[in-house]
Structure 1
């Protein structure tokens, strides 16, 4: 992606990125034109090429920056957190909070992956794999320490990520549940799914039905 030197060029580039994010989220990458993008920013279409090389470069840059920031912030979140259980809780909270806050970036990084050219696609898939490996490592440590139980940590990580990322499709600020309540539910689901059999709560048998003809509690 081309870069224009100077503060004005930096501000214009940031405006282009924000406008591109809005347009791609709203109508899709294929439907967005560079002329429309320029109009959204308030510059001539030809001036776009002082800041970006192609529409493909813009899409790749948006997804790449999103993924690199996601990984960097996760690493900072987990830094200093001891023990696989606490790391798992920290990962869940981070993932949900970040994905609620960056709904547009997350949507584009998944829905427009197919629109990337092969070399760009491969680069983004590798960044996604780096993020996934962070969670797999936490699960591996938990299994090794005897606090988690799962037949396959990679499959478990993919399942957890799919569930957590789904929050983008339904969570609404001011809705029935707060963000912290949602995080607590997800944390419980993940923890229960990874619990060893010995740690799982025993099922409580229902009380026997009352005798025929007798009133309940009689």
Structure 2
């Protein structure tokens, strides 16, 4: 089964956090985000990096954990970006808009790094392998209704979020993002445990730490709205 990172046209701008001078508005062309991420991320991982002796490590193979994690997490990140753009247009809450802004910027930057690494390694951005096959899990996740990996929202859930406004949209977005982050943390930890590329492992550990922290924040935002996580 092939799966591809999805770049959508949900929105091309995002409002930044409110400041004393009012909200900042940033244009968000995908090409610019990728270019910035390439500039930041690729030099550190050229040809897989160097070991302590200074010799150049080998380029990851097409179906390696390094390539699989980069592809799958890029796909996972793209949906978090999509979810955040959806809620951005359906709420006036500063807290929710700020959270969405942070998720869009952080995950778009990380996604650009991972796509850049694949390009630098001369590998394709998608493969015929099943999602997360590189993790060698005991159980297989069954993709369904557009949800390719654990934590990813289904097409039905995305449609529901698009149908909501105000606090209802806020609560549902927060609930979906907790599940999304749980899936992302599990995948990133999987690469930390299995991976061999030190730079990619550091990025994965950053994801684990950052998304766990955001789960706590999101849970607090839900409680303020009299709601709880879905699970």
TM-score range, shorter chain: under 0.3
- What TM-score results when the alignment is normalised by the length of structure 1? 0.28
More helix by share: 1
Q: Per chain length, whose mean CA-contact separation is higher, i.e. which structure has more relative contact order (CA < 8 Å, sep 6+)?
A: 2
- What TM-score results when the alignment is normalised by the length of structure 2? 0.27
More strand by share: 2
